[in-house]
Amino acid sequence: DSGVTQTPKHLITATGQRVTLRCSPRSGDLSVYWYQQSLDQGLQFLIQYYNGEERAKGNILERFSAQQFPDLHSELNLSSLELGDSALYFCASTQGVTNTEAFFGQGTRLTVV
Amino acid sequence: KNEVEQSPQNLTAQEGEFITINCSYSVGISALHWLQQHPGGGIVSLFMLSSGKKKHGRLIATINIQEKHSSLHITASHPRDSAVYICAVRDYGQNFVFGPGTRLSVLP
């Protein structure tokens, strides 16, 4: 058990809908990262938050947004969903910003139908 | 050219064999991570390296910063080692860049 909790584990929704994925980092970790893993793309970095502030942005679509709350949990919001958004969404947490071990959640499998 | 490359893409080994997975990268990095993704999808962080060598049980990871290359070795491989092994680097902007993964199957 990595200590990182993601909910829900599975999500099936229709095109055009909006969903929220939740990540609770490991106790004491201040940084949260979100990743997308689709069948044909491998793991892609989406966005990083550190202590409530956006720290780095990767290949995140404008339809997607995220935030980190004062209790350090994070939410990834996906809107106007398309079939191509079907993927595994992972979050990971690290204690600091640089050169610290990353711990991954079990992922949320999103299926858009 | 991808920033992080891995070889081989796929690897089948017999139980007990010594296995090496290679990772090469083209960007400046602050750290390199080896990850293991199980068939169910869960990801486990195996190592984080910024220099030298680390060992956990039957797993050994090395990195050569000058050559921009890292290797993951598995000694006395076992079927439970079957997974996808992913090399990930953190660039100086603290972004993670992932390799394509190496799919390992260890046969009994």
The four Cα atoms A54, B51, B71, A26 give a dihedral, to 10 degrees, of: -40
Give pLDDT tens digits for B10-36.
Answer: 999 999 999 999 999 998 888 899 999
* pLDDT at residue B1 tops 80: no
A30/A45 Cα distance (integer angstroms)? 18
Interchain pair A90, B50: CB under 8 A? no
Judge contact between A104 and B42, C-beta under 8 A: yes
Instruction: Respond yes or no on whether the N-terminal peptide bond of residue B8 is cis (omega within 30° of 0).
Output: yes
Confidence of residue B96 (pLDDT cuts 50, 70, 90): confident
How far B106 CA lies from chain A's nearest CA (Å)? 22
B13 to chain A, closest Cα gap in Å: 23
Q: How far apart are CA B99 and CA B73, in angstroms?
A: 17
Residue A101's nearest CA partner among A28, A6, A47, A16 is A28
DSSP β-bridge partners for residue A42:
A38
Within chain A, residue ranges assigned H as helices are none
What are the structure tokens assigned to B74, written together?
């598995």
CA distance B40 to chain A (A): 9
Distance CA B46, CA B40 (A): 17
Mean pLDDT for chain A overall:
92
For residue A39, pLDDT beyond 90: no
Mean per-residue pLDDT, B82-103: 88
Residue range A49-73, pLDDT digits in tens: 999 999 888 889 999 999 999 999 9
Q: Which of A5, A104, A108 should be substituted to probe chain B, the one whose Cβ sees the most B Cβ atoms within 10 Å?
A: A104
Q: Which residues of B touch A101 (CB under 8 A)?
A: 45, 48
- The model's pLDDT over B29-70, given as tens digits with 9 standing for 90+, comes to 888 999 999 887 788 889 999 899 999 999 999 999 999 999
Helix or strand or coil: residue B81?
helix
Judged by CB atoms closer than 8 Å, whether chains meet at A102 and B45 is answered as: yes
DSSP code of residue B42? -
Inter-chain CB proximity A99 and B45 less than 8 Å: no
Residue B61, both tokens: 């990871």
